[in-house]
């Protein structure tokens, strides 16, 4: 492993962080995020609880696929 490999990984992780940051900036404009079936939302008079479990699972699967793809491409 040469010195260029850690540099490439740092650049890749930096780009991923920038991409996630851009997604978070436009999070309200993405129509299905936070409103998927299975997301828990309880609203009462003085209480509001929201737990986006399905959205969290979808994000986890997407991130896992991206990490797997990056790792499989970096082995070649």
**Domain positions in the chain:** 1-30, 31-76
Of 60, 40, 62, the residue nearest 50 (C-alpha): 40
| Rounded Cα distance, 47 and 31, in Å | 25
Q: Which residues of 6-41 are buried (b: 16+ CB within 10 A; e: fewer)?
A: eeeeeeeeeeeeeeeeeeeeeeeeeeebeeeeeeee
What average pLDDT score do residues 15-22 get? 84
**pLDDT (tens digit, 9 = 90+) per residue, 19-66?**
878 877 776 666 666 678 888 888 898 998 888 888 889 889 988 998
pTM of the model: 0.56
Structure tokens at 12: 């890749």
């Amino acid at each position: 492993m040469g010195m260029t490999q850690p540099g490439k990984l740092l650049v890749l992780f930096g780009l991923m962080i920038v991409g996630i940051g851009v997604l978070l900036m436009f999070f309200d404009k993405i129509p299905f995020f936070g409103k998927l079936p299975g997301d828990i939302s309880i609203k009462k008079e003085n209480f509001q609880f929201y737990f986006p479990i399905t959205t969290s699972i979808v994000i986890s699967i997407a991130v896992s696929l991206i990490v797997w793809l990056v790792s499989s491409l970096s082995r070649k």
